[in-house]
Amino acid sequence: MPTKTLSRRDFLKITGITLGTSVVACSGLTALAVHSPDVTLPESTYGDQNMSKKILIAYASKCGSTGEVASAIGKTLAQTGARVDVLPLKHVTNLSGYQVVFVGSAIRMGKWLPEAVNFVSENSASLQRVPTAYFTVCATLIEDTSASRAKAAGFIDPVRAVLTPAAEGYFAGKVDPDKLSFLENIALKAKSVPQGDFRDWNKITNWAQGTYAQISA
C-alpha cells in the first residue's frame, strides 16, 4: 500500500490544531492553578451613627480572615461610644470626618496586599492628620516567637517608609485550603504551614482597646 505524503498545507493545519488544543488546555490549567474562590468581604457600621466621634477600620483581605479581624476591632471600638465604619479598602472613598483610622492587610509573598500599600501611598497626606494604626494578619505568626514577630514587622517596611503609624498590631490568621488556589496550597504544603484558625480573639480585642486609648488620648 503506497505511503500517503502530507502536503505542507495539511501538515500546518494538523500542527496548528494540536498546538491550539495544547494552548487552550494549558491556559485552563494555569487559570485553575492561580484562581482563588470568591470571598465576600464584610462591610459594617457599629455603634451610634449619630456619634460625633468616628473611626475607620479599612482593610485588605484575600480570603476573608483579615476582614473578620477588622470586624472584631470595629465591634470592640464601638464600645467606646464612637461610630465605627469597617470597610474593604476598595470601598473607602472619603477619609474626611474620621478622627482615628486603622489600616490592615493580609500578607502575600511577604508583603501587604497591593491595594493596602496603594491606599496608604495615595492617602498619606490625609492619614498624617489623624492618628493612624496598622494591623497585619499572617501565617508567620502561627508560632508567636520573637523571630516570627520581627519577620512580620519587616513585611510592612515599605508601608512604614511612606507613613509611620501611631501603633502596629500583628496577628496570626486562618489557613483555609478551600479559599486558596491550587498553587497557593502547594506553596503552603511545601513550607509545612498548618491548616486551621489561629486567630487569638482576646489578643485582637485587647490590642484594639489599648491602641485606641493610646492614640486617641
Asked, for residue 172, whether it belongs to a domain, the answer is yes
Which pLDDT band, with edges at 50, 70 and 90, does 190 fall under? Answer: low
Residue-range definition of the domain harbouring residue 137: 44-215
Q: What is the pLDDT of residue 82?
A: 93
Q: What is the pLDDT of residue 55?
A: 97
What's the pLDDT band for 93 if we cut at 50, 70, 90? very high
Identify the pLDDT of residue 203. 97
pLDDT recorded at residue 38: 61
pLDDT at 63: 82
Whether 137 is covered by a domain: the verdict is yes
Q: Does residue 8 form part of some domain? A: no
Q: What is the CATH number of the domain that holds 62?
A: 3.40.50.360
Residue 177: its pLDDT value, please?
Answer: 59
For the chain, the domain total comes to 1
Q: Which amino acid is at 197?
A: D
* pLDDT tens, residue by residue, 2-54: 444 545 555 444 344 343 433 333 333 333 344 455 667 778 999 887 788 99
Assigned domain for 107 exists: yes
176: helix, strand or coil: coil
Over residues 111-164, the pLDDT tens digits come to 999 999 999 999 999 999 999 999 999 989 988 899 999 999 999 999 999 999
Q: Which amino acid is at 35?
A: H
Strand partners, 60: 105
Bridge-partner residues for 132, per DSSP?
101
pLDDT of 37 reads: 54
Instruction: For residue 66, give the nearest of 169, 181, 165 by alpha carbon.
Output: 169
165 part of a folded domain? yes
State the CB neighbour count (10 A cutoff) for residue 69: 27
Query: How would residue 184 be classed by pLDDT, with cut points 50, 70 and 90?
Result: low
Instruction: Please report, for residues 139, 175, 178, 190, the alpha-carbon distance to residue 193 in angstroms, rounded to integers and kept in the order given.
Output: 8, 8, 15, 8
Does residue 4 form part of some domain? no
On whether residue 122 sits in a domain, the answer given is yes
pLDDT band at 194 (very low <50, low <70, confident <90, very high): low
Q: Name 181's Cβ contacts closer than 8 Å, sequence gap at least 6.
A: 33, 34, 35, 36
pLDDT digits (tens, 9 = 90+) for 51-70: 889 999 999 998 888 999 99
The confidence band for 87, taking pLDDT boundaries of 50, 70 and 90, is very high
Output the pLDDT for position 196: 77
Q: Is residue 171 part of a domain?
A: yes
